[in-house]
Amino acid sequence: MKVYQTNEIKNISLLGSKGSGKTTLAEAMLYECGVIKRRGTVEAKTTTCDYFPVEKEYGYSVFSTVFYAEFLNKKLNVIDCPGSDDFVGNAITALNVTDTGVILIDGQYGVEVGTQNIYRTCEQLKKPIIFAINQLDGEKADFDNSLLQLREHYGNKVVPIQFPINCGPSFNSMIDVLLMKQYSWGPEGGVPTITEIPEEYKEKALEMHQQLVEAAAENDEGLMDKFFEQGALSEDELRLGIRKGLVDRSIFPVFCVSALKDMGVRRMMEFLGNVVPFVNDMPAPINTDLEEVPVESDGPLSLFVFKTTVEPHIGEVTYFKVMSGTLKAGADVTNMNRDSKERLAQIYCVCGQVKTAIDELKAGDIGATVKMKDVRTGCTLNGAGCEYKFDFIKYPAPKYQRAIKPANEADAEKLSAILTRMHEEDPTWVVEQSKELKQTIVSGQGEFHLRTLKWRIENNEKLMINYIEPKIPYRETITKASRADYRHKKQSGGAGQFGEVHIIVEPYEEGMPKPDTYKFNGQEFKMNVKDTQEIPLEWGGKLVVCNCIVGGAIDARFIPAIVKGLMDRMEQGPLTGSYARDVRVCIYDGKMHPVDSNEISFRLAGRNAFSEAFKNANPKILEPVYDVEVLVPSDKMGDVMSDLQSRRALIMGMESDKGLEKISAKVPLKEMASYSTALSSITGGRSSFTMKFASYELVPGDVQDKLLKAYEAENKED
């Protein structure tokens, strides 16, 4: 195939809510440009983009799929992204390596929560947007309502390029107000019949054409002057103005399509080919040194790897974008992340699972290679003399967690290797070996996201696994001062063990005064602080140890052993075995033996004295609480609120946003374990949420009692 120059390449993301028809549109686009001879369907599992076994099993897009279309002597690299919020990482990745987002709107439902989420991502990344109102042949299709909702949400930037003559099953024609023509199709869609606009639609078309001209002229002073002088712009001038408006996000064009019937698809592709910005029209990418990297084919060679995957019958495939320079097959490069050498023996243009070998790719183009040795998602590969490094993709925090273990414990090491590889394929699958919880925790964007991971491990890797609800990382602390002493004494022939420690524990707060005098059971204890250790804890909070020993009751060399004993109990709290935090300990007295005292004796004495004092200091359990934001349709507001309140949520606020509601709440992590599934069930998949750690808070008394009883029962079983 032809080698396209940088100024002939356009990179586009295909986005939208689940069920909006992205994969069907991709199929129609491939058919229109002649890449495929027959359109497949999602139902028949024959589409170009959904080719992984798990996608055919579920009937959903699970992975983003790269394909190209050669159209109007341009190369359109398109990434078809999953619509489910569970796979949002794919859309974020795609938008970071493409320049324009085409957001599909289901003409039957208008702006959905998924639309809002995708729009926010485009806005954050400052990407041009085109809206395509799809499924205008649906029973409930309503173009005018969809357009009204778009304008309510995104303002006057939303400018229609077309409007349909009729919606619903009889949809087969529309008016294009950029070209001022009527497009009509037969039952099979495809190539349209182009005619003059019927008299009854001329007034509406002229009015919308004028709005489009004004919107285009606003983006260029020269065009604005010409518009004021002549009151009109030529077709080429309109395209120039719209392109500039797309780049600075001052215009969001709206198209009409029926992807299923292949109506309006070719016309939209003409717009993509003629009007959408080229890769070198967009701001230059920024490397990790905060330098702009010009997208130039004669610059130094640098590639950014945005996706790695294992594909049926091929093996590991590495997808990259040429950030700078010209890549030729057989090129030797340096992996800047791993400091290793690689050779791209073959390079390909990609269309789903079909890979077409090509000799070279220019700056801005997207391609793939196979059989790389040590390349992972996020790596930068450079030619000789180039020091660029890129790290611009930021993924959202996980929202759903499960502990994972193999059905056969002997497969633990094998599972660990598989999970590492899966994370490298999809960085939104996060894997953690939790020392605290003694579990392997996998986190993702939702229940379906982790169910997909399980399907792949069991079906592709033939390794059976189990998901269980993860333990909660509780914290233990105290709320009042308490005193205890403990003598460790052991004699079994020869040298024995002896150590006695007297301590006072109290809650620690930053800035509190030095310990002075304490009173317990009518007896005063005066502290004489010799030195203080502040030990920041890796799980949060501090342990502060004050050495108040007087008269040499305990030799200074044994103090570190006592501190180790205290840390033993901070790492495994006396109440539930959770980490303890924010405790100050005064070691004020004790005894030692000239022969039998040693470090282990004082470590054990310190540990046991701490346990006793901790339990008498009105101990409390803290639980992690998260800031949760839920975006929900207005008609489901009451149900979602009721569900949150049943989860011990503290509602912090509510905001209305043009038919959608945003609920802000603080919710204990324990209550969020199944929230992804519950929210989807309550709202029919029309809601989304985000969660971020906020703080540790005291658990209610009844919850603490249950936790203490559960820990006691568990220890009895052990």
Local structure of residue 84 (DSSP, 8 states): S
CA atoms of 50 and 40, how far apart (whole Å): 10
Token pair for 48:
């170009």
pLDDT at residue 65, rounded to an integer: 94
**CATH number, span 621-703:** 3.30.70.240
- In contact, 399 and 629? CB cutoff 8 Å: no
Q: Where are the domains of the chain?
A: 6-281, 302-382, 400-471, 479-618, 621-703
What letter represents residue 295's amino acid? V
E strands in 451-582? 465-468, 475-477, 482-490, 497-507, 517-520, 523-526, 531-536, 542-547, 579-580
Q: At the topology level of CATH, where does 302-382 sit?
A: Elongation Factor Tu (Ef-tu); domain 3 (2.40.30)
| Proportion of the chain above pLDDT 70, given as a percent | 98
**pLDDT > 90: what percent of the chain?**
76
* Digit-coded pLDDT (tens) for 265-282: 999 999 999 999 999 999
Say if strands 517-520 and 497-507 run parallel, antiparallel, or are unpaired: unpaired
Q: How confident is the model at residue 640 (pLDDT cuts 50, 70, 90)?
A: very high
CATH number of 479-618: 3.30.230.10
Average pLDDT of the segment spanning 513-517 = 93
Question: Which pair of tokens denotes residue 254?
Answer: 């709206």
Q: Please, which pLDDT band fits residue 525 given cuts at 50, 70 and 90?
A: very high
Structure-token match 């301590």, residue found:
503
- Residue 717 predicted with pLDDT over 80: no
pLDDT-derived band of residue 217, with 50, 70 and 90 as boundaries? Answer: confident
Question: What is the pLDDT, as a whole number, of residue 697?
Answer: 94
pLDDT value at position 503? 97
Q: Give yes or no on whether 400-471 and 621-703 have one common fold.
A: yes
DSSP secondary structure, 423-457, as one string: HHH-TTSEEEEETTTTEEEEEESSHHHHHHHHHHH
Is the predicted pLDDT of residue 493 greater than 70, yes or no?
A: no
More confident residue, 120 or 229: 120
Q: What is the mean pLDDT of the chain?
A: 92
Contact status, residue 387 vs residue 406, Cβ threshold 8 Å: no
pLDDT on residue 551: 85
Q: What is the mean pLDDT of residues 455-482?
A: 94
What value does the mean pLDDT take over residues 516-530? 93
Q: Does residue 323 register a pLDDT over 60?
A: yes
Question: Mean pLDDT across the stretch 564-587?
Answer: 94
* Distance (Å) of CA 704 to CA 476, 575, 621, 623, 675: 11, 10, 7, 10, 22
Does domain 6-281 sit in CATH 3.40.50.300? Answer: yes
Checking if the pLDDT of 718 tops 80, the result is no
Report whether pLDDT(80) > 60.
yes
Q: For 16-73, what is each residue's pLDDT tens digit? A: 998 899 999 999 999 999 888 999 888 888 888 888 888 888 777 888 999 999 999 9
* Residue 219's pLDDT band (cuts 50, 70, 90): confident
Confidence tier at 283 by pLDDT (50, 70, 90): very high
What average pLDDT score do residues 553-575 get? 94
Q: Which helix (H) or strand (E) covers residue 587, if one does?
A: strand 583-591
Helix H, strand E, coil C: the string for 553-582 is: CCCHHHHHHHHHHHHHHHHCCCCCCCEECC
Give the pLDDT of residue 647.
Answer: 95
Spatial separation of the C-alpha atoms in residues 69 and 111, rounded to whole Å = 28
Structure tokens at 273: 């080919």
**Helix ranges, 632-699 (H):** 637-646, 675-683
Instruction: Give φ, ψ of 480 to 5 degrees.
Output: -150, 170
User: Predicted confidence band at 494 (pLDDT cuts at 50, 70, 90)?
Assistant: low
Distance from C-alpha of 706 to C-alpha of 670, rounded to nearest angstrom: 13
Q: What's the CA gap between 30 and 3, in Å, rounded?
A: 19
pLDDT tens digits for range 641-670: 999 999 999 999 999 876 678 999 999 999
HSE value, Cβ hemisphere, 13 Å, CA-based, for 346: 9
Instruction: Report the pLDDT averaged over residues 542-550.
Output: 95
- Of the pLDDT bands very low, low, confident and very high (cuts 50, 70, 90), residue 377 is very high
Asked if 22 and 83 count as a contact pair (C-beta separation under 8 A), the reply is yes
Segment of 225-239, 332-346, 686-700 carrying the highest mean pLDDT: 332-346
Please give the pLDDT value at position 481. Answer: 96
Report the C-alpha gap between 439 and 404 in whole angstroms: 7
pLDDT band at residue 205 under the 50/70/90 scheme: very high
**What is this structure's pTM?**
0.84
For domain 400-471, say whether CATH 3.30.70.870 is its number. Answer: yes
CA atoms of 251 and 246, how far apart (whole Å): 6
d(CA 129, CA 660): 21
